């Protein structure tokens, strides 16, 4: 998989639609026309499906740094760290794409026609006009949606990715790329920028029966405190992660507190931590992903670091929770990690949209029977 760093034009609406620009490089597209094609990067409702040979729903976007004159990246998977650079200011990492796929011209042509058919191209024109931009920087509206008004379909879209694969940081971190070109991707080591200090743990409230109003207020404060702690520590807070983390922490706490276990969030940098009566610790990382394999890859390095780096607290059990359904090969892989390297890691599937886990699944988070 390619790993790249790409520049985005500044945007105050988290790249859901264009916003006004100031202080841009005069030679860049955002300065010439008042907008960048990447400003619809996070338009979550713009999802396409039905291209021959491609299953599922996909977001189709244009990322300037992934466009090359000779289509050098076509057909390859890519993960991307995104940053912005305003005049006389530091470059700031703003988010990243877990995994995308670089389009060829045939698929891009299909996607471009869908933009016209679904009226998205008209909306793009309207939104550029709304900020005082120049629509000459956009393809004209076609009379026939089967025809393209530009002969370069990769200007419409050059990357597709699964909904949920795009993440933005609550707090932006300074980075130092070697250059600041929009139309050039730099090599990325795959490391997500984050601060190097630990935020205090968040205590999990115990749900009180028959006190629904008080309990709801307490749980709302709990959810907001988790989000704030993640922002303080520089860890991204993914939209699909939030409900899983909140619900799992509360379910574990309600189940384990009567058994003299302690459950916290954002403690020692892990999403959820359990301390059993004998002192054993379980570190839990929640990783929404497009596959269990991706979730394991994203979580495992973090769990090992949090558990085994000098001056960290060793965990007796590492648990990865994801909404990606595992395959048999995923369990074989985890079994090999335990057998060959003695890594005590488990995988728990949180079904997409679920409010809680079946109670018999909760034993997967414990080192001993309680």
Domains of the chain in sequence order: 2-187 (no CATH), 202-365 (3.40.91)
pLDDT at residue number 61: 97
Q: How far apart are the C-alpha atoms of 81 and 95, rounded to whole Å?
A: 6
Residue among 109, 65, 111 at smallest CA distance from 85: 65
Give the pLDDT band (50/70/90) at residue 173: confident
pLDDT for residue 232 is more than 70? no
pLDDT at residue number 317: 96
Largest Cα span, the chain: 72
pLDDT for residue 199 is more than 70? no
pLDDT at residue number 198: 41
pLDDT at residue number 207: 54
pLDDT at residue number 240: 77
Kindly report, residue by residue over 326-343, the tens digit of the pLDDT. Answer: 999 999 999 999 999 999
Residue among 94, 111, 93 at smallest CA distance from 102: 111
11-20, 259-268, 347-356: range with lowest mean pLDDT: 259-268
pLDDT for residue 48 is more than 60? yes
Residue among 285, 264, 271 at smallest CA distance from 201: 264
Residue among 49, 23, 35, 332 at smallest CA distance from 180: 23
How many CB atoms within 10 Å of residue 69?
A: 6
15-24, 31-40, 167-176, 224-233: range with lowest mean pLDDT: 224-233
Mean pLDDT over each residue of the chain, to the nearest integer: 85
Q: Which position has the higher pLDDT, 313 or 290?
A: 290
How many CB atoms within 10 Å of residue 75?
A: 10
Q: Is there a contact between 72 and 94 (Cβ–Cβ < 8 Å)?
A: no
How many CB atoms within 10 Å of residue 197?
A: 9
Q: Which are the contacts of 107, defined by CB distance < 8 A and separation ≥ 6?
A: 51, 54, 160
Burial call 108-121: b when 16+ CB within 10 Å, e when fewer: bbbbbbbbbeeebb
pLDDT at residue number 192: 81
Instruction: Name the packing angle between helices 292-308 and 328-341 (round to 10°).
Output: 20
pLDDT for residue 144 is more than 70? yes
| Region 230-247 average pLDDT | 67
The whole-angstrom distance between residue 355's C-alpha and the CA centroid of its chain comes to: 21
pLDDT at residue number 211: 45
């Amino acid at each position: 998989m390619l790993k790249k760093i790409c520049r985005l034009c500044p945007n105050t609406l988290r790249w859901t639609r264009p916003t006004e620009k100031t202080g841009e490089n005069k030679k860049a597209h955002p300065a010439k026309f008042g907008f960048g094609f990447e400003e619809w990067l996070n338009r979550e409702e713009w999802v396409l499906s039905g291209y021959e040979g491609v299953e599922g729903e996909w977001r189709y976007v244009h990322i300037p740094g992934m466009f090359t004159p000779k289509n050098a990246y076509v057909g390859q998977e890519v993960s991307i760290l995104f940053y912005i650079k305003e005049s006389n200011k530091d470059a700031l990492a703003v988010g990243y794409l877990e995994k995308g796929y670089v389009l060829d011209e045939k698929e891009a042509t299909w996607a471009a026609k869908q933009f016209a058919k679904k009226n998205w191209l008209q909306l793009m024109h309207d939104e550029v006009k709304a900020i005082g931009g120049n629509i000459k920087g956009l393809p004209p509206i076609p009379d026939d949606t089967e025809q393209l008004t530009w002969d370069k379909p990769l200007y419409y879209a050059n990357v597709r990715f699964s909904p949920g694969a795009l993440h933005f940081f609550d707090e932006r971190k300074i980075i130092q790329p070697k250059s600041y070109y929009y139309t050039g991707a730099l090599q990325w080591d795959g490391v997500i920028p984050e601060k190097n200090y630990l935020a205090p743990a968040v205590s999990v409230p115990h749900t009180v029966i028959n006190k629904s109003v008080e309990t709801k207020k307490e749980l709302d404060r709990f959810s907001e405190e988790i989000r704030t702690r993640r922002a303080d520590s520089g860890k991204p807070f993914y939209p699909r992660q939030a409900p899983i983390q909140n619900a799992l922490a509360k379910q574990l706490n309600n189940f384990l507190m009567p058994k003299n276990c302690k459950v916290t969030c954002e403690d020692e940098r892990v999403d959820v931590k359990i301390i059993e009566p004998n002192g054993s610790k379980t570190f839990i990382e929640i990783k929404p992903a497009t596959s269990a394999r991706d979730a394991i890859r994203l979580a495992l390095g973090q769990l090992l670091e949090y558990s085994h780096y000098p001056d960290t607290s060793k965990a007796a059990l590492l648990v990865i929770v994801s909404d990606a359904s595992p395959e048999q090969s995923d369990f074989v892989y985890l079994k090999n990690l335990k057998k060959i390297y003695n890594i005590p890691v488990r995988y728990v599937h949180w079904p997409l949209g679920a409010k809680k886990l079946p109670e018999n699944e909760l034993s997967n988070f414990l080192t001993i029977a309680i």
